[in-house]
A and B are shown apart, each in its own frame.
Chain A
Amino acid sequence: MLKIENLHATVGTREILKGLTLSVNAGEVHAIMGPNGAGKSTLAHVLAGREGYEVTSGSVTFDGKELLELAPYERAAAGLFLGFQYPVEIPGVSNLLFLRTAMNAQRKLRGEGEISGAEFMKRVREESAVLGLDMEMLKRGVNVGFSGGEKKRNEAFQLGMLAPKFALLDETDSGLDIDALRIVSEGINRFRSPERAVLLITHYQRLLDHVRPDFVHVLAGGRIVKSGGPELAHALEAEGYEGIAA
């Protein structure tokens, strides 16, 4: 589903990604772990198309399409979802208006009709109940007045509502207490299916106790330096990045 080959990317004049290669198939959950400054968030932003991140060489295909040629909104409509490490607050735009606008914009680009008000609200009730977000919160501005944990739950809620093919989750576990981690993990596990794939970016192994990955990769110095199964995450936790990635 996602194929990254020899990806090099710079931020300003600094090269952050230095030949990253990774392949994720439908039905798989991959975790990328790595020390601070390894390039984890840069990878997430490059894949989502954020300005300021320049790809200097390499390629990324998503479902057979050249991902890097698509604008950020086209990537979303193609089925790519980025869960933000720091979700943005948008005063004055309610969560519900935002989500409905996003869903309809994606559907329009895919040549589908708009979602009806009744169907939309039905989906909202289903997905928000799972994540413990009440309707009053959803009527407020996007992430406005939300705690760190609530913002991450809102990301998981958007994931459920938008139902993409591929979830790229950037440190979704950061800032979560144990209960919130469990709730968000349930949201991610609900998303898992043979047709979908997940790429988790995380510092810590604790998220992977809740969302069990099929593959674990270590990102250091801008490239994948080691890959393995879930046991690799435990080894990293025990021995640290320096021991494993050396």
Chain B
Amino acid sequence: MTRLPTRHDEEWRWADLRHADAFAGTPAPANDSLPDAEPHWLDLPGERRLFAAGHAIDRATETPEADPQAPQHPLADLARVAATAGTRIALADGEDGGTVQILHIGTTGSAHGVTRLMLGAGARLTLIESFADDDHDHWLNHRLDAELGAGASLTRIVRLRTSHGLVSERAYVTLGPDARFTQLAVASANGSARSEVLVRHDGAGAHADVNGILLGDGAAALDALTRLEHRVPDTTSGQVWRLVAAGKSQLSVSGGVNVARHAQKTDAEQSLKALVLKRTASANLKPELEIFADDVKCAHGCTVGELDRAGLFYLQSRGIPPHEAEALLTRAFVADALSAIADPALREALDTETRLWLEQRT
């Protein structure tokens, strides 16, 4: 079996993999009783696919091939070998795949899955992948391999809603010329989550927005790692990550940009910001830029702070109670990460989800 990474491995220093260690040898049993999926869907039209404990509900089991070109990765490789939950979506040139929601609910033990996307030239898809649990300790481990042809467009929302246990998920995305990839990871969890994305810009004109909102309370350990590789000239990317750490949560983002030697005219922006609401919580931000070309723009900013006290007093002086004032300022803080979502209904649904979390927690 693949060796699981540990905190001694630099890329895993903030990851909480205790549930992976505990459940690696314990596949989730097929369970007759269905967990309650309803609270975990986003209220949007489109096809829905449900997986409970790694098993497809109301559909035949698929185990798609992972992308053979994908680099080795300890957890993604394990997901490929052990996958029981799979989805394959292949869109022909110009095809619009609409919106597809995939929901994985962890119960007990470990469950692995693969999502394989192949978008032909000019094809379009919005994919919402949600990971949740039924209040039992567990480990859900998933990989997504996506190839975007010329001018194709993929919007991927990753919702990490685990209250117990661990969700680890890694996306590997390759972009053809003028392809557009927009990803927003929203983690609102009290459990542990590891979200990784590797994007390879292989065609001129390709653009990726890789954004995230990590909302941590209780003993949440939420950890994200991005690697955006600009491998050819004239590609662009943006990364906006907003972290809100409450309770005793530990939130971390390692935001990577790699510009190859000949990838001139790359424009890669990165903004990592964290709000620490309680002194018992912590946030780690680690921008990692490796630039081997000389004619590039790579703006980056990184701040960890608390809520602006002058702003809080201003709101309270107008009659807004402290917890509502905090929620309002925090919602404004995360809004930048939502702005890359072009579809107003989807953006609204995610904004509402964020607002509800803030109102309940702060």
Question: Are A73 and B320 within 8 A (Cβ)?
Answer: yes
CB distance from A234 to the nearest CB of B (A): 32
Q: Which of B305-336 contact A (CB under 8 A)?
A: 308-311, 313-322, 324-325, 328-329, 331-333, 335-336
Contact of A73 among B310, B319, B328 (CB under 8 A): B319
CB of A177 within 8 Å of the partner chain: no
Chain A residue numbers with a CB within 8 Å of B328 are 93, 97-98, 101
Q: Which of A69-111 contact B (CB under 8 A)?
A: 71-73, 75-77, 82, 84, 87-88, 90-93, 97-99, 101-103, 105-106, 109
Nearest B-chain residue to A93, judged by Cβ: B332
CB distance from B344 to the nearest CB of A (A): 16
The answer for the CA separation of A87 and B310 in the assembled complex, in Å, is 9
Chain A residue numbers with a CB within 8 Å of B335 are 92
The answer for the CA separation of A50 and B319 in the assembled complex, in Å, is 13
Nearest B-chain residue to A99, judged by Cβ: B318
The answer for the CA separation of A99 and B335 in the assembled complex, in Å, is 19
Chain B residue numbers with a CB within 8 Å of A51 are 309, 313
Chain A residue numbers with a CB within 8 Å of B325 are 73
CB distance from A73 to the nearest CB of B (A): 5
Question: Are B316 and A71 within 8 A (Cβ)?
Answer: yes
Chain A residue numbers with a CB within 8 Å of B317 are 48-50, 72-73, 75-76, 82, 84
CB distance from A239 to the nearest CB of B (A): 35
CB distance from A123 to the nearest CB of B (A): 15
Nearest B-chain residue to A94, judged by Cβ: B332
Question: Are B310 and A88 within 8 A (Cβ)?
Answer: yes
Q: Which of A111-157 contact B (CB under 8 A)?
A: 141-142
Chain A residue numbers with a CB within 8 Å of B324 are 101, 105
The answer for the CA separation of A49 and B315 in the assembled complex, in Å, is 12
Q: Which of A181-233 contact B (CB under 8 A)?
A: none
Question: Are A93 and B319 within 8 A (Cβ)?
Answer: no
Question: Are A73 and B316 within 8 A (Cβ)?
Answer: yes
CB of A158 within 8 Å of the partner chain: yes
Q: Which of B325-362 contact A (CB under 8 A)?
A: 325, 328-329, 331-333, 335-336
Main secondary structure of the interface of B (DSSP, over half): helix
Main secondary structure of the interface of A (DSSP, over half): helix
Nearest B-chain residue to A89, judged by Cβ: B311
Question: Are B329 and A98 within 8 A (Cβ)?
Answer: no
Number of interface residues of A (CB under 8 A): 31
CB of A162 within 8 Å of the partner chain: yes
Q: Which of B167-190 contact A (CB under 8 A)?
A: none
The answer for the CA separation of A97 and B328 in the assembled complex, in Å, is 9
CB distance from A169 to the nearest CB of B (A): 13
Chain A residue numbers with a CB within 8 Å of B311 are 88, 90
The answer for the CA separation of A88 and B314 in the assembled complex, in Å, is 7
Question: Are B319 and A92 within 8 A (Cβ)?
Answer: no
CB distance from B63 to the nearest CB of A (A): 44
Q: Contacts A72-B313, A92-B335: A101 and B329 contacting too (C-beta < 8 A)?
A: no
Nearest B-chain residue to A110, judged by Cβ: B319
Contact of A76 among B310, B318, B329, B331 (CB under 8 A): B318
The answer for the CA separation of A92 and B311 in the assembled complex, in Å, is 12
Chain B residue numbers with a CB within 8 Å of A106 are 318-319
Chain B residue numbers with a CB within 8 Å of A72 are 313, 316-317
CB distance from A200 to the nearest CB of B (A): 17
The answer for the CA separation of A92 and B335 in the assembled complex, in Å, is 7
Question: Are B319 and A162 within 8 A (Cβ)?
Answer: yes
Question: Are B319 and A141 within 8 A (Cβ)?
Answer: no
Chain B residue numbers with a CB within 8 Å of A49 are 316-317
Question: Are A162 and B318 within 8 A (Cβ)?
Answer: yes
The answer for the CA separation of A16 and B99 in the assembled complex, in Å, is 63
The answer for the CA separation of A158 and B320 in the assembled complex, in Å, is 14
Q: Which of B309, B314, B319, B336 has the most chain A CB atoms closer than 10 A to its own CB? A: B319
Question: Are A76 and B314 within 8 A (Cβ)?
Answer: no
Question: Are B313 and A98 within 8 A (Cβ)?
Answer: no
Question: Are A102 and B332 within 8 A (Cβ)?
Answer: no
CB distance from A50 to the nearest CB of B (A): 6
Contact of A92 among B313, B316, B321, B332 (CB under 8 A): B332
Known: A88-B314, A102-B320. 4 other contacts (CB 8 A): A50-B317, A72-B316, A93-B328, A101-B328
A interface residues, Cβ below 8 angstroms from B: 48-51, 71-73, 75-77, 82, 84, 87-88, 90-93, 97-99, 101-103, 105-106, 109, 141-142, 158, 162
29 A–B contact pairs at CB < 8 A? A48-B317, A51-B309, A71-B316, A72-B316, A72-B317, A73-B316, A73-B321, A73-B322, A76-B318, A82-B317, A84-B314, A84-B317, A88-B313, A88-B314, A92-B331, A92-B332, A92-B335, A93-B328, A93-B329, A93-B331, A101-B320, A101-B324, A102-B318, A102-B320, A105-B320, A105-B321, A105-B324, A106-B318, A158-B318
